[in-house]
Amino acid sequence: MDIDFSKFTVLAVDDIPTNTLLIKMTLEQSGLRVITAQNAEEAFQLIEQERPDLILLDVLMPGIDGFEMARQLKEHPEHKWVPIIFLTALDSTTDIVKGFQLGADDYVTKPFNKEELMVRVSHQIQLLEAKRTIEQQKKELEEIIAGRDAMYSVIAHDLRMPMATMKMILNVLFLKIKENEHTCNDLLESVQSANEICEELYILLDNLLKWTKSQLGRLKALPQFFYLGEFIKGGVEVAAAHASTKNIGIRFESVNNEETGVYADTDMIKTAVRNLINNAIKYSYRDSEITISIEREADRVICKVADTGCGICEKDQARLLNPATHFTTYGTENESGSGLGLLLTDTFLKLNNGLLFFHSKQGEGSTFGFSLPAHTGK
């Protein structure tokens, strides 16, 4: 790593002027800027004025000694990250350990060897340079991600409204064609297929918009009391039309409605339930059945969406909730996906003190579900 040492300032603190002079002469040969102080009080003033990158600190000084000065520096919010190398004639293990416990990054015994001093200082400078490089790269990456997410948000927002209009028109067109006894089956199937594709695109755009907002920190939960059982029952009725395209039945089971009270953001929970049901339909085989159940266990209300579809292998299960991969696979009839739905569901549930869980076995099916804190509404 090529380092420009002239960018770094080192503060040497020692009550013996000849020591600080020797340190200054040694380190300046490498291009480092060196400032000196004869005691802790003078050193504290220079630290505030010069903001050194590294401090060489003598342990045995009159007044505030090196150990106490190090303790004060490490308690200061602005100076606690400045690395410290102790200069000490105390070479006992106890003193060395005490120095590290107080936050020292290294030590040099006195009288010091100039080559050893330079090597130890260079090592700390290299660590500082590496840290600065990482922080700069992190900042640049965050800016890139923020720009990407903002772009996704704009695209999803601008496309969602016309897609919603198209979806509504196709729904009306499908119903009108279906009512006409003279309509050929091919036309009916084509409109139905277009309607399904439009629905999938709308859900994708909706998930994308909400996901980017959540990543940008623009989504806040607005909780209110409602009965989860009654709420999900309405969602099942909406999903039944989608499930019918694969001739999949949806069975709903629930405890008494009064036992399913929760306090959460209804829009977020609606999105979570929709995504879980849509995934179950996607990975279920034609002519099968999905079971949606609501249970009450102690102080939690639990919703489960179970299918007897293709299931997920153990290797892929470990990748499901990894934001870096957006993992997804094709459905039983080659339906595609983005992998955003489950990630968004997990995010929304966490914002409402909920928990997403799942278990799956390849070839036998999957159960995805979540729990929310029970609430009485009082």
Domain CATH number, residue 301: 3.30.565.10
Predicted TM-score (pTM) above 0.75: no
> What pLDDT is recorded for position 38?
94
CB 249 within 8 A of CB 284: no
Residue 58 to residue 71: CA distance in whole angstroms: 13
Tally of CA atoms within 13 A in the half-sphere of 210 that contains its CB: 25
Residue 256 to residue 104: CA distance in whole angstroms: 63
**Amino acid in position 185:** N
Does residue 288 sit in the same domain as residue 358? Answer: yes
> What pLDDT is recorded for position 328?
77
> What pLDDT is recorded for position 334?
84
Does residue 238 sit in the same domain as residue 209? Answer: no
Whether 122 is covered by a domain: the verdict is no
Tell the residue number behind the tokens 């990054």, with chain if given.
Answer: 105
Whether 119 is covered by a domain: the verdict is no
Task: Identify the CATH number of the domain in which residue 164 sits.
Answer: 1.10.287
Token pair for residue 136?
A: 């700069």
Beta strand pairing status for 289-297 and 300-306? antiparallel
Whether 290 is covered by a domain: the verdict is yes
| Torsion sign over Cα 320, 326, 329, 333 | positive
Does residue 203 sit in the same domain as residue 228? Answer: no
> What pLDDT is recorded for position 110?
85
Does residue 367 sit in the same domain as residue 232? Answer: yes
**Amino acid in position 157:** H
Whether 128 is covered by a domain: the verdict is no
Does residue 28 sit in the same domain as residue 153? Answer: no
Residue ending a domain, among 77, 93, 112, is 112
Segments forming the whole domain that contains residue 227: 220-378
Does residue 76 sit in the same domain as residue 107? Answer: yes
Q: Which of 156, 160, 164 shows the shortest CA–CA distance to 213?
A: 156
> What pLDDT is recorded for position 165?
78
Whether 124 is covered by a domain: the verdict is no
Q: Which of 59, 46, 134 shows the shortest CA–CA distance to 100?
A: 59
Whether 129 is covered by a domain: the verdict is no
Does residue 108 sit in the same domain as residue 181? Answer: no
> What pLDDT is recorded for position 149?
67
Does residue 166 sit in the same domain as residue 296? Answer: no
Whether 52 is covered by a domain: the verdict is yes
Residue ending a domain, among 185, 217, 249, is 217
> What pLDDT is recorded for position 119?
94
Does residue 289 sit in the same domain as residue 368? Answer: yes
The helix-helix angle for 185-215 and 340-351 (nearest 10°) equals 50
Mind listing the pLDDT tens digit of every residue in the chain (378 residues)? Answer: 678 899 999 999 999 999 999 999 999 999 999 999 999 999 999 999 999 999 999 988 989 999 999 999 999 999 999 999 998 877 677 878 888 898 889 989 888 889 999 999 999 999 999 999 999 998 888 777 766 666 666 566 666 677 777 778 877 777 777 777 766 777 777 777 777 677 777 777 777 777 666 666 767 888 999 999 988 888 888 788 788 889 999 999 998 988 999 999 998 898 899 889 989 999 999 999 999 999 999 999 999 999 999 999 888 888 888 776 667 788 898 887 667 788 889 988 999 999 999 999 999 999 999 999 999 877
The secondary structure of the chain, three-state, reads CCCCHHHCEEEEECCCHHHHHHHHHHHHCCCCEEEEECCHHHHHHHHHHHCCCEEEEECCCCCCCHHHHHHHHHHCCCCCCCCEEEEECCCCHHHHHHHHHCCCCEEEECCCCHHHHHHHHHHHHHHHHHHHHHHHHHHHHHHHHHHHHHHHHHHHHHHHHHHHHHHHHHHHHHHHHHHCCCCCHHHHHHHHHHHHHHHHHHHHHHHHHHHHHHHCCCCCCCCEEEEHHHHHHHHHHHHHHHHHCCCCEEEEEECCHHHHEEEECHHHHHHHHHHHHHHHHHCCCCCCEEEEEEEEECCEEEEEEECCCCCCCHHHHCCCCCCCCCCCCCCCCCCCCCCHHHHHHHHHHHHCCCEEEEEEECCCEEEEEEEEEECCCC
Task: Identify the CATH number of the domain in which residue 11 sits.
Answer: 3.40.50.2300
Does residue 270 sit in the same domain as residue 180? Answer: no
> What pLDDT is recorded for position 152?
64
Whether 304 is covered by a domain: the verdict is yes
Q: How many domains does the chain have?
A: 3
CB 87 within 8 A of CB 76: no
Residue ending a domain, among 217, 245, 278, is 217
Does residue 82 sit in the same domain as residue 107? Answer: yes
Does residue 352 sit in the same domain as residue 249? Answer: yes
